[in-house]
Structure 1
Amino acid sequence: MADTSMPLLKVEHLTKEFPTGSGFLGGKLSKKVVSAVNDVSFEIRAGETFGLVGESGCGKSTTGRAIMHLDPPTSGKVYFEGKDVSKMNKAQLKDMRREMQFIFQDPYASLNPRMTIGEIISEPMVIHGIGTPEERMDRVRELLDVVGLNPEHINRYPHEFSGGQRQRVGIARSFILRPKLIICDEPVSALDVSIQAQVLNLLKDLQKEYGTAYLFIAHDLSVVQHISDRVAVMYLGKMVELSDWKSLYAEPNHPYTQSLLSAVPIPDPDVQKSRKRIILAGDPPSPIDPPSGCRFHTRCPIAQAKCSESAPEFREVGEGHYCACHFAKPFPIKESHIDL
C-alpha cells in the first residue's frame, strides 16, 4: 500500500440534506429536510482500500455520490489530490472524474441495454476524447481479458451475460481510464456468494496491478474484512467508529459495531456455537426526525441519560482508532438483551 504525505481523498465535515416538504416547527412554517449524511470526515491514501459499512439507509451510498459530486454536498469539503472539489467548474470536474470512477451496485440497471459491451466499456474514453476508435477497442479487448471475459464477446449486449459477468463489465468500464480512485457502491451485494468471492478477488488483483485506491461501500462486514485496509462504520448518517480492520474486528469499541460483528458467521462450527448474537431492540429511527444526543441511544443496551442529552465526540480511543461513544471501550456489550 502506497503512503504519501498528502491523502488522495480528504473528506471534511461532509453533510448532505434532502428536502422532504414543509411543516410547522415552533408555530412557524419551515422546510423539512432529511440529513442523509451528517458531519462525516475521513481520508483515503493512494493505493488504500477504505471500507464504509452500515445498515441500509445509513447514508453510505449518499456519501459516495456526494464525494463524486453526482449529488453535491450541502456543506463540508471534499479534497481530491489537494484540490477543493466544490470550487471546480464543469471542465475541472470532468477532469477530476477521469481520476475518480464509480462501480454501481446493480449490474442490471447500470449498463445501457441498447449498447454493446465494447461501446459501454469504451464510453469513458469517448467522453474524454481519448484515442482513436481502433485504440479504444484494443483497450477494451485488453480489459475484457483482464476481468476474465472473452474479448470475442465485445459486440454482445448486456442481456447476454449473467449478473457476475455484467458486474465484470462495470468493473472494466471503471478501469478503462486507469483512475486513481474508484468508489465501489456495494459492487457484490446483488451477486451470489460464490460470485462475490470472484469479484472481490478480481478487485484485489486489479488494485495490485494498477495501484488504484478504493472507497468500498457495503453493508456486509464479512465482505469488507477481506478487501479493506481501514473500515468506518456509519449509523443514521453519522460515523460511529473508524479503525484499521484488524483492530475493529478484534476490539470493537462501539456497541453498534459489536452488534454488527456478532452477526458475521465464523466458518468454525465449534466457535460459532459458542458465540452469542447481540440483537438490538427496535428499528433504526427515521432520519427525518433523528433522536437527540447520540443517534444510537434509542437502541443501545448500555445507554444512559447522558446519551440522550449530548452527542458524543468522535475521538481517538487507540492509535488510529476513533469512536463516537460516551462509554467507548473494547466489547462494551457483554451479552444480548434480547433472546433469540
Structure 2
Amino acid sequence: MADITPLLKVEHLSKEFPANSGVFSSRFSKRVVSAVNDVSFEIMPGETFGLVGESGCGKSTTGRTIMRLNKPTAGKVFFQGRDIASMSKKELKDMRRDMQFIFQDPYASLNPRMTIGEIVSEPMTIHGIGTKEERLERVRELLDVVGLNPEHINRYPHEFSGGQRQRVGIARAFILRPKLIICDEPVSALDVSIQAQVLNLLKDLQNKFGTAYLFIAHDLSVVQHISDRVGVMYLGKLVELSDWKRLYAQPCHPYTQSLLSAVPVPDPDIQKTRKRIILAGDPPSPLDPPSGCRFHTRCPIAQEICSREQPEFKELEPGHFCACHFGQPFPIKESHIDL
C-alpha cells in the first residue's frame, strides 16, 4: 500500500466559523469557532478510513469541508492529485461525479415530493448521463443491489422505513459509481439490528465497486466493523491515528482509551471486571479551547507541560500516530479491547 498514490490527501485542514452571527452578539466581535484545526490524513483507493469522536468534535465538518460544502479556512485537500480548495464551480461539479455523500438522517435527506426513482437518478440527471430510459434502468438495477424492490420505483419516501430510506440514500450515492463516498454517521439514526444490515451492505458494495469510504461515526464498535484505519478526533484535532487492530489492542492516547473502555464486551465475565475510564467534566467550548493540549482539562494523566505546550502529532511506530506528551500503550490499564 505504501507505493499506491492516495485517492484523498488532507493536509493541515482547518475550518473556522464566525461566532458573531447570533442576534445578541456584538457587531464588532471577531471571535471564531475553530471546528477543525490542523487535520491531516490520507485515504487509499478502496480503503475505509474511520473518523470517530464525541458529538461536536468536528467530524462532520471535516467531511463537509473535504466535499467543499464548506470552504476550508486553511490547508489543502487533494482528490486524485488535484486541490479541491482551488477548484472552480465547473471543476467541482466534475469532481463530484467521483466523490459522493451519504447523509446521517434518512428522513431529512430525501425530498418528500420526489419518487424514489427521481431521487436515485437525480445525480445522473444533473451530470447529463444517459437517456431517461437508461437512467431508470440503472436505478432499477441499483435498487435491487441495495436490497429494495425495483417495482417500488414510483413510491415516495414516506412509504418506506428508516432503514429502507437509508438504502435509497446509499443507492443515490452509488448511482455514478464514485471512487470515494463520505459516510456521515449513516447508521446512527437506525435501530441496532438495521445498523448491521446497512454496514454489511456498505461492505458488499465496496467489494463490488472498489469504492473508498470516509466513514464518520461516534460509535467505536461500528467503526471497528467496517474500517481499515481509524482516526480519533477531539475538539477539532486528530489525537490518534492507526490501523483498527492496533488502535483497539494498543490505544496510546488517554482519550482513545476512555472511549474504548466504554465499548461493551459481549462476554459478561470480562465486562464485569473491566475498568471504565470516566472523564472529568464536559468537553470545553470550541469557542475558547484550552491552552496546550486541548484534552488536558479532562485527562487523568495530565501534567504541567500539558497546559503549556501543544503535543506534536508524531509517529510512535510505523503507521501509528498520537498527539500526547505521554502517549504510550496502556498508560491507563484495562482500557483496550481483547481481539
TM-score category by the smaller chain?
A: over 0.9
**C-alpha distance in 1 between matches for 2:334 and 2:160:** 46
Give the equivalent residue in structure 2 for 1:50: 49
> Offset of 1:268 from its aligned partner?
1.1
RMSD: 1.4
Partner secondary structure for residue 96 of structure 2 = helix
Give the equivalent residue in structure 2 for 1:272: 271
Give the equivalent residue in structure 2 for 1:64: 63
Percent sequence identity is 83
Q: Is the 8 Å Cα contact of residues 274 and 334 (structure 2) preserved in structure 1?
A: no
Give the equivalent residue in structure 2 for 1:293: 292
Partner secondary structure for residue 187 of structure 2 = coil
Give the equivalent residue in structure 1 for 2:166: 167
Give the equivalent residue in structure 2 for 1:26: none
Partner secondary structure for residue 66 of structure 1 = helix
Q: Is the 8 Å Cα contact of residues 141 and 154 (structure 1) preserved in structure 2?
A: yes
Give the equivalent residue in structure 1 for 2:79: 80
**C-alpha distance in 2 between matches for 1:260 and 1:204:** 24
Give the equivalent residue in structure 1 for 2:314: 315
Mapping of residues 99-248 of structure 1, within 5 Å: 99-248=98-247
The one-letter code sitting in structure 2 at the alignment partner of 1:303 is: A
> Offset of 1:3 from its aligned partner?
7.1
Q: Deviations over 1:187-232 (max 9, x none)?
A: 0000000000000000000000000000000000000000000000
Partner secondary structure for residue 21 of structure 1 = coil
**C-alpha distance in 2 between matches for 1:295 and 1:97:** 34
The one-letter code sitting in structure 2 at the alignment partner of 1:77 is: K
- Structure 1: 5+ residue stretches without partners: 23-28
Q: Deviations over 1:99-118 (max 9, x none)?
A: 00000000000000000000
> Offset of 1:334 from its aligned partner?
3.2
> Offset of 1:30 from its aligned partner?
4.9
The one-letter code sitting in structure 1 at the alignment partner of 2:15 is: K
Give the equivalent residue in structure 2 for 1:95: 94
Give the equivalent residue in structure 1 for 2:10: 11
- Structure 2: 5+ residue stretches without partners: 22-27
Give the equivalent residue in structure 2 for 1:25: none
Partner secondary structure for residue 194 of structure 2 = helix
Aligned length: 330
Deviates more, 1:269-278 or 1:211-220: 269-278
**C-alpha distance in 1 between matches for 2:17 and 2:212:** 29
The answer to whether residue 302 in structure 2 is matched with residue 303 in structure 1 is yes
**C-alpha distance in 2 between matches for 1:317 and 1:204:** 30
Q: Deviations over 1:254-276 (max 9, x none)?
A: 00000000000111111111111
**C-alpha distance in 1 between matches for 2:29 and 2:154:** 54
> Offset of 1:335 from its aligned partner?
7.2
Q: Is the 8 Å Cα contact of residues 65 and 72 (structure 2) preserved in structure 1?
A: yes
> Offset of 1:173 from its aligned partner?
0.2
> Offset of 1:149 from its aligned partner?
0.3
Partner secondary structure for residue 31 of structure 2 = strand
Partner secondary structure for residue 169 of structure 2 = helix
Mapping of residues 9-48 of structure 1, within 5 Å: 9-21=8-20, 30-48=29-47
Partner secondary structure for residue 260 of structure 2 = helix
> Offset of 1:21 from its aligned partner?
1.3
**C-alpha distance in 2 between matches for 1:114 and 1:13:** 41
**C-alpha distance in 1 between matches for 2:87 and 2:308:** 39
Q: Deviations over 1:97-143 (max 9, x none)?
A: 00000000000000000000000000000000000000000000000
Moved over 4 A (4+): none
Q: TM-score, normalised by structure 1?
A: 0.95
**C-alpha distance in 1 between matches for 2:188 and 2:135:** 30
> Offset of 1:5 from its aligned partner?
2.5
Q: Is the 8 Å Cα contact of residues 4 and 46 (structure 1) preserved in structure 2?
A: no
